[in-house]
Structure formats: C-alpha cells, structure tokens
Amino acid sequence: PITLGELLCLGSSLAFSGLFYYLYRKKARLVARIQEAPKLQVDDDLPALVSAADGSCLPYVALEGIVLPAKAVLTSHYHEGLQGVIQKLLLKEHRLIWNSLARSW
C-alpha cells in the first residue's frame, strides 16, 4: 500500500521534474537561436544594415572583426593574456511596483 506521504513526494518530484524540463527546453531554444545568429563583419556597411533593420535593432548577431578600445583595454584577472573591450554599456531600469502583501517595492 502507498501512503499519503509517498504520494506527496512522488507528486512533488514529478512537478519539479516537469518544471526543470520546461526551463531546460526554454534555454535550449534560446541557445539554438544564438548559435544560428548571422555573422556580420565590422566594416563601413554595418551602420547601414542596422539602420535598415526593423526598429534599428538586430536581435542576435555575431560581429567579427577588429575593434579598438576607446580608453584602455580590459585585462582578465583570471586568465593571463586575455583582453577585451566594452563597446556599449546598456542600463535598463525595471518599473517598480508596490507589493502590498510583502510591503516592498
């Protein structure tokens, strides 16, 4: 005979498995979209491509080419010889909504 506690454990295990599988599939689709992103070269035609795109925005692209830092090159503290640059810093503010139950924003 199966007890109520065993049924509860089985049900919660199935619910968590379904939730994690859903999250896995969602992230797998996102990774597939990123891997299928078109590869563009950094050249003089790039601004024209961006301005011709819908909303002047390209959702996922891979840019290939040589970039130069505006001020200084960023060096990695963890990997010797690894350098990078920041092209653009985007700050996105989320709208705050008052939660009356938790009494917080």
User: Does residue 43 sit in helix, strand or coil?
Assistant: coil
- At 51 the pLDDT is 87
Cα–Cα distances (Å) from 85 to 39, 61, 67, 98, in that order, read 19, 17, 8, 38
41-73 confidence digits (pLDDT tens): 888 888 888 888 888 888 778 888 877 787 888
Is residue 35 scored above 80 in pLDDT?
yes
Q: What's at 20, amino acid-wise?
A: F
**Mean of per-residue pLDDT scores for the chain:** 85
Of 67, 59, 62, 56, the closest CA to residue 40 belongs to 62
Return d(Cα 105, Cα 97) in angstroms, integer: 6
Per-residue tokens: 5: 């506690």
* Domain boundaries, given as residue ranges, for the chain: 4-84
